[in-house]
Structure 1
């Protein structure tokens, strides 16, 4: 059973470790990743963003962050699911949670950066209404070759 809870200090290492495992499996860890993962309070929460942790039978197994870009516009990022818990639709439930939060707060949109190497993730984003938009030249991540948005 999955329960999604707001980030607390006790989850700092799990947030970092889930993301590092995912990044090292598929890509590599970039400077921006180190900044967000090692100083999540400063670079996410204190700037008006959010972090959520997914608990499977009380064990933290997934996470995601919403980084505030401007009023009513957030970037969905740092979503990861422990490899031993993949295939249980945890990522989809985390994404649904983010969308419901955005609607409940009457945000304008959610954007995200991804990679065309991640076909299953892109399929899920599209299924939930995200549309591909122009990727700016100064993307925050080298690995990102696609940008998507959901108008809430």
Structure 2
């Protein structure tokens, strides 16, 4: 999966997790979490331990890269029984507006479908309007927030309705 390059040097690719990108996963997500929210222990733990918190449980982390530069990231976390969470979507401010959020979310949706997932959900906040618009364009619909939601700082729960 890649964005349309203006020339070969501008090619952006979406790639799965590599240990070399672990710090970028942490830093890209901490930047937006610290800007908009109080970083909860559950966030910090997942960002510091992505292998055990996301990958080992059957999830994946994707990165939008251009050359050696990591421009964005997203994760899909497996909750079990075919239920997955789209989480930790972050794009470097210098790369926002290039469609990377959409590319990353589409990688998550493709992964979810390849795994035969039953439900794909996310938790977000209405103050993240660009993200909210993206999720709606990707056919995520607002649903009632479950009592056992993962994050205290969210006010929206959305589920993917399919393509």
State the TM-score bracket (shorter-chain normalisation): over 0.9
Paired residue for 1:100, among 92, 110, 113? 110
Show CA shifts across 1:54-86 (max 9, x none): 102331111111110113211000110011111
Aligned position for 1:112: 122
Match of 2:94 in 1: 84
**Distance between the aligned counterparts of 2:130 and 2:71, measured in 1?**
19
The superposition leaves residues 92-151 of structure 1 with CA deviations (integer Å, 9 ceiling, x where unpaired) of 111111112222332212100000111221111111111111102332111110100014
Moved over 4 A (4+): none
2:114, 2:58 → 1: CA distance?
Answer: 16
* Deviation (angstroms), 1:28: 2.2
Query: In 2, Cα distance between the equivalents of 1:12 and 1:121?
Result: 23
Which residue number corresponds to residue 138 of structure 1? 148
Equivalent residue in structure 2 for 1:40, among 50, 70, 74: 50
The DSSP-based 3-state class of the residue aligned with 2:15 is strand
Secondary structure in structure 2 of the residue aligned to 1:48: coil
**Which residue of structure 2 aligns with residue 27 of structure 1?**
37
Which residue does the alignment assign to 2:3? none
Corresponding residue number in structure 1 for 2:7: none
SS of alignment partner, residue 44 of structure 1: helix
Report deviation, 1:89.
Answer: 0.9
8 Å CA contact 1:108–1:151 kept in 2: the answer is: no
CA distance in 1, matches of 2:137, 2:81: 26
